[in-house]
Amino acid sequence: MSVKSESWGSRVGLILAMAGNAVGLGNFLRFPVQAVQNGGGAFIIPYLVCFLLMGIPLLYIEWASGRFGGKFGNHSTPYILDSMVKGRILKYIGVFGIFTNVAVAAYYCYIESWTMSYVYHSLAGTFEGMSQSGVAGFFNSYVDVAQSTTGIPFEAIIFYVLCLLLNTYILSKGLGGIEKVAKIGMPLLIIFGAILAVRGLTLGTSGASELFPDANAWDGLNFLWTPQYSSLLDLKVWMAAAGQIFFTLSVGMGTIHCYAAYMKPKDDIALNAVSAGFMNEFVEVVLGSLIVIPIAAGYLGLDWVKENAGFGMAFQTMPYLFQQWGPVLAALAGLFWFGLLFFAGITSSLAMGTPWMGFMRDEFNWGRNKGAWSFGLLILVMGLPTVLFFKQGVFDEYDYWAGTVSLVVFAMLETILFSWIFGMKKGWAEITSGADIKVPSIYKFIIKFVTPIMLIIIFLGSLFKPLNNDWSGNFSSFFSGNGWKLDNGSIIKTITHAGIREKISLATDPAVIGQLEENIFYINIARFLLLGLFLFISFLVYVAFQKRRREGRATL
């Protein structure tokens, strides 16, 4: 058994780092949008059910797996899983735990760099006097690197590189650097969020205008918190709620395993896992629901929000709304909002670097500096295409395969492996060992049966997503003998570019057709890069296995 050279400085630092890993951009950018698009209050109920039946079990599984692997000196998922289950093939399931982090960080750091840029522009007064369409146009210009007119040449590239350098520098300081950022960033994130949430709660009808005379911030809150019970029978809402759990808790990535691997063998994981999980839920459900939707509804009306709710609201709408508060408060609001998003982003992106660094240290004796800067270089190579070819769909392709499909696949496989191959008896003993709380025994049944079934359903649902996401209608169609019509967003249809090819078949403008065909070319390049990354990491795992076998450390 090897001796760990690093460990967490304090329990508070570990919990804040774990919470920071979970609390990310999705808490503020994705959760409110998902809630609006899936029935408001109707979304909250299945979301909380999925948190209890899938989120908490996955947290227990990943914390327990990580601490168990750490006992044998393993700090990344390939050999954490290998220490749990002996077998040459199973360690390659753990490749997902490194691949996903590198691939997600490649485009996630780009979003993170937007927040840095928008803090600058908010303080500089760039958005002052802009219309809502003007603010939206600013964002479109920002991400169009070749044609950008935001004031700084190649601004998107400059801020992206600055963001990578900052992440890499902090990672080079090891767990101590990550812990310091978590201790500073998480409290500031909550303070900034609380300030903006108070504004969302007190805005009322004061933001109504001639264009939107019925605007009322309370309409947004009522919509989010009033359950529409008829929607609970819609499987689409449940699928959306389950999918949000992956984004919000950062499960299925390998970062939790890595963080937990640096714990001492008898350190509590049960209370730590629940604490980090519920801190994330507080930030998402409470703060996340009190900022974007109420403020937007307070100025633009609930109907506008329902029609236009999307990821881009944070950058294309919020700066305009802040301008309604006057130049000084607008600058402060921009600082708080985009500062909040920056801290949410960087605490998550730092976590994404630790599996690569842990793997390279364990298997190839790389130090912190070498591990961190190699990670930064790898992210730069993988990430620049998402910056340069954002409008061609490279960013979205990374997000789909690495940030969605890969999470579900890995979570499904690791849950089955933990519950059925490692065994629930050993798994439960690992979860409860050193626990500072009594874990409800019902979770032994949930982890073994309920969570795997839910994950299998989510995976199959992604694979065979029905046309227009109409689950009820397609089930009726299927059982009546009319077949199952796949949506262009299903994995099967996505592989064949069905959505883009459908647009090409309907288009009449040669320029539009040419642009769509160009998008297919760049999307294929993105897939080639992602596949190449997965194979590269798999090759490193194979080399590491051969090295371990020569040194007499390999398991068959």
pLDDT score, position 5 = 56
Per-residue model confidence (pLDDT) at position 56:
97
Q: Do residues 305 and 295 lie in contact, with contact meaning Cβ atoms separated by under 8 Å?
A: no
Closest-CA residue to 76 (of 359, 350, 301): 359
How many residues belong to the chain?
556
Residue 87 CB neighbour total at 10 angstroms: 14
Q: Dmax of the chain from CA atoms?
A: 77
Which has the closest alpha carbon to 81: 459, 406, 533, 541? 541
3-class state of residue 367 by DSSP = coil
DSSP one-letter string for 122-142: HHHTTTTT--HHHHHHHHHHH
First to last CA, the chain: 17
State the pLDDT at residue 2: 43
Question: Angle between the 327-364 and 368-388 helix axes, to the nearest 10 degrees?
Answer: 130
With left for phi above 0 and alpha for psi between -120 and 50, is residue 204 left, alpha or beta? left
Calpha distance 374→538 (Å, rounded): 17
Cβ contacts of 131 within 8 Å, gap of 6 or more = 320
Taking the mean position of all CA atoms in its chain, how far away is CA 246?
7
| Spatial CA neighbour of 419 closest among 50, 87, 85 | 85
Exposed (0-12), middle (13-18) or buried (19+): which is 474, by Cβ within 10 Å?
buried
Rg of the chain over all Cα atoms, to the nearest angstrom:
23
Which residue in 245, 243, 258 sits closest to 350, CA to CA? 258
∠ at Cα 153 (149, 154), nearest 5°? 100
State the fold for domain 11-384.
Hydantoin permease (1.10.4160)
In degrees, rounded to 5, the angle at the alpha carbon of residue 353 between the alpha carbons of residues 155 and 59 is 120
Say which residue the tokens 């959760």 belong to: 31
Other Cβ atoms within 10 Å of 401 Cβ, number: 20
Query: Buried (b) or exposed (e) across 61-79, using 16+ Cβ within 10 A?
Result: bbbbbbbbbbbbbbbbbbb
- Contact assessment for residue 345 and residue 111, using Cβ atoms and an 8 Å cutoff: yes
- In angstroms, the CA 455 to CA 416 distance is 10
CA atoms within 13 A of residue 113's CA, in its CB half-sphere: 27
* Cα distance between residue 89 and residue 173, in whole Å: 34
Give the Cα-Cα-Cα angle 116, 121, 124 (nearest 5 degrees): 130
What count of other Cβ atoms lies within 10 Å of the Cβ of residue 535?
12
Q: Which tokens in the block code for residue 57?
A: 């079990």
**Quick one: CA torsion of 62, 67, 68, 69, rounded to 10 degrees?**
90
Do the Cβ atoms of 338 and 118 come closer than 8 Å?
yes
Q: Tell me if residue 466 falls in helix, strand or coil.
A: strand
Going from the first residue of the chain to its last (556 residues), give the mean pLDDT of each consecutive group of 10, the final group possibly shorter: 60 84 87 87 89 96 96 94 84 96 97 97 95 93 88 92 98 93 93 94 90 91 82 80 87 94 93 92 90 93 89 92 94 96 95 96 96 98 97 96 94 96 96 95 97 94 89 85 90 95 95 96 98 98 94 74
Q: What are phi and psi of 486, to 5 degrees?
A: -80, 145
Whether 332 contacts 322, CB under 8 Å: no
Residue 335 half-sphere exposure toward CB, CA atoms < 13 A: 11
Q: What's the pTM value of the predicted model, to 2 decimals?
A: 0.94
Joined tokens for residue 74: 């393993």
429, 141 contact by CB (below 8 A)? no
**Residues 314, 142 contacting (CB under 8 angstroms):** no
> What angle (nearest 5°) sits at the alpha carbon of residue 321, between those of residues 320 and 325?
110
Residue 422 tokens, joined: 């490692």
Give the burial class of 521: count Cβ atoms within 10 A of its Cβ; 0-12 exposed, 13-18 middle, 19 or more buried. Answer: exposed
Please give the Cα distance from 286 to 276 (Å, whole number).
Answer: 15
